[in-house]
Amino acid sequence: MSNEIPESLKDLPWELPRNFLGLEGEAGSWARAGVVILPVPYEATVSYQGGTKLGPQAILEASRYIELYDQELDAEPGPEIGVVTLPALHLSSAGPETAVRELREACDAVFAAAGDRLPILLGGEHSISSAPVAAAAARLPEGRRLSVLQFDAHGDLRLEYEGSPYSHASVMARCIECADLVQVGIRAITAEERALMRERDPAITTIFADEMWDNEAWIDRAMDALGDDVFITFDVDYFDPSIMPATGTPEPGGLTWYPTMKLLRRVFAEKNVVAADVVELAPIGGNAAPDFVAAKLVYKMVGYRWLAERQRSS
């Protein structure tokens, strides 16, 4: 949140505020904001390398050095739309089920308070996504079904993993209890997950990474499979490890920046994006580039939201 200091002290050489983009004043205030950033540094069920609990702070820190001007949009969408950053949520250590329940209660409250603002959660491990997805689905009018657009290397459709149905490896199995699912970039699944994808088609649409290289027809396929109301969950291991090595379970053969932005821009332009998250960043000491990639990804979502609102009001 904005740091409140006396007027007489405002001209001193303070550090940038620890808000997303370093925004201060009205542009970083709740009253002005069109986007709400919610850090959730939760980590309990990672299965390879840890460090995701440090992801939200790394994204916020890197975001303060992003150029506010976006050449693609020919604007400074952050200050234009306004972005408020909430304090980090620290969830229970009593186990994943308790933590997810706490997060669901928090998301219900934050989403209700946010109203028409776009909430973006910063993880933490991917297990956090089931709570905001359920909260977003519950807020839709009767008869409307939420679609989850999952950017990911992994299917995350195991019914349970290491004894827990609330593991990061099971998060999409929880999400499909209340939403349809469109997965892009997938390249690491179990045989059981593949069987579930086939069994639940078309409620689950999976576009594998090796289907996304030769042309961009996959973008139309993803758009056609999405409903009107969309929750975006973005596991950063969707990207190829060459540009995103800072994640717990990297997989070769991932996707690159510009095709991904084409899909995101279309989703914001053509669908009602109700909320989003960016998860699984595990910062690497001495290598800030992946942190900046994740922060820029969040800023592109902010920009596409700003553009969509501007186009709809014109």
Give the rounded distance of the alpha carbon of 132 from its chain centre: 10
**100-155 confidence digits (pLDDT tens):** 999 999 999 999 999 999 999 999 889 999 999 999 999 999 999 999 999 999 99
Q: Which carries the bigger pLDDT value, residue 166 or residue 33?
A: 33
Q: Does residue 240 belong to any structural domain of this protein?
A: yes
Q: Which two tokens stand for residue 307?
A: 């553009």
Helix (H, G, I), strand (E, B) or coil at 130: helix
C-beta of residue 152 within 8 angstroms of C-beta of residue 175: no
> Given a cut of 90, is residue 86 above it in pLDDT?
yes
Q: How far are the Cα atoms of 114, 165, 197, 226, 289 from residue 111, in angstroms, in the given order?
A: 5, 25, 30, 22, 31
Cross-strand partners of 281: 247
Closest by CA to 132, choosing from 247, 234, 8, is: 234
Domain extent for 210: 30-313
Q: Which two tokens stand for residue 174?
A: 């929880």
CA atoms of 104 and 199, how far apart (whole Å): 28
Q: Does residue 11 belong to any structural domain of this protein?
A: no
> Given a cut of 90, is residue 169 above it in pLDDT?
no
**192-207 confidence digits (pLDDT tens):** 999 999 999 999 999 9
CA atoms of 129 and 152, how far apart (whole Å): 13
Q: How confident is the model at residue 1 (pLDDT cuts 50, 70, 90)?
A: very low
> Length of the chain, please?
314
Give the rounded distance of the alpha carbon of 166 from its chain centre: 18
Q: Does residue 15 belong to any structural domain of this protein?
A: no
**Mean pLDDT of the region 236-240:** 98
Q: How many domains would you assign to the chain?
A: 1
The pTM of this model reads: 0.94
Q: What DSSP string runs through 164-209?
A: BTTSGGGHHHHHTTTEEEEEEEE-B--HHHHHHHHHHTTTEEEEEG
**Mean pLDDT of the region 67-71:** 98
**6-57 confidence digits (pLDDT tens):** 788 778 877 777 899 999 889 999 999 999 999 999 987 555 566 899 999 9
Q: Which carries the bigger pLDDT value, residue 194 or residue 165?
A: 194
> Given a cut of 60, is residue 2 above it in pLDDT?
no
Q: What is the mean pLDDT of the chain?
A: 93
DSSP 255: B
CA atoms of 296 and 6, how far apart (whole Å): 32
Q: Does residue 10 belong to any structural domain of this protein?
A: no
Q: Does residue 105 belong to any structural domain of this protein?
A: yes
Helix (H, G, I), strand (E, B) or coil at 134: helix
CATH code where residue 56 lies: 3.40.800.10
What does the pLDDT read at residue 45?
A: 56
Cross-strand partners of 239: 255
Phi-psi region of 253 (alpha: psi -120 to 50; beta: other; left: phi over 0): left
Q: Which two tokens stand for residue 229?
A: 């109301």
Q: How far are the Cα atoms of 70, 158, 202, 277 from residue 205, in angstroms, in the given order?
A: 32, 16, 6, 20
Dihedral sign for Cα atoms in the order 244, 249, 254, 257: negative
Q: Does residue 14 belong to any structural domain of this protein?
A: no
Q: Does residue 296 belong to any structural domain of this protein?
A: yes
Closest by CA to 34, choosing from 278, 266, 313, is: 313
Q: Does residue 122 belong to any structural domain of this protein?
A: yes
